[in-house]
Amino acid sequence: MKIVSSQFKSCDLLKVEGRVDSNTAPQLGEALDKIIKEGRFKIVLDLEQVDFMSSAGLRVLIMTQKACKRYNRGEVVLTAVPQNIYSALELAGFTSLFRILSDTLLAVGNF
């Protein structure tokens, strides 16, 4: 798994590539925790290049969403979600807990 992060004025963008499983999910969790610990809570997560995500990855997403939405201080927005991963989000009942947008740049611009 590879994570490319960029910090914008309005939000942080994380582009994730490869597999997010029990082995790599902690690395994604650390990258997201770092942003939160620095006091930023508006995060766009671009999943276009993710080819596999297990429940360990979903666990990281839900914990980060809980932390970001606390006190209405922000949120995690998911973008360019591949169909297989969207189906997993749907099965887990996560599609009502995240805004899911197709266009990453638009998501960054609209924050």
Q: Of the candidates 103, 49, 55, which has an alpha carbon nearest to the alpha carbon of residue 79?
A: 103
Binding residue for another protein, selected from 32, 50, 58, 78, defined by CB under 8 A: 58
Query: Minimum Å distance from CB 55 to another protein?
Result: 4
Give the interface segment with another protein, choosing from 9-17, 33-41, 91-99, 103-111 (CB under 8 A): 91-99
Using CB under 8 A as the binding rule, whether residue 56 contacts another protein is answered as yes
- CA–CA separation, 67 vs 88, rounded Å? 22
Using CB under 8 A as the binding rule, whether residue 21 contacts another protein is answered as yes
Half-sphere exposure for 48 (CA within 13 Å, toward CB): 13
β-bridge partners, 4: 15
Contacts to another protein from residues 64-83, by CB under 8 A: 65-66, 69
Half-sphere exposure for 30 (CA within 13 Å, toward CB): 7
Q: Of the candidates 26, 109, 53, which has an alpha carbon nearest to the alpha carbon of residue 101?
A: 109
Using CB under 8 A as the binding rule, whether residue 93 contacts another protein is answered as yes
Q: Which residues bind another protein (CB under 8 A)?
A: 19, 21-23, 52, 54-56, 58-59, 62-63, 65-66, 69, 84, 87-88, 91-93, 97
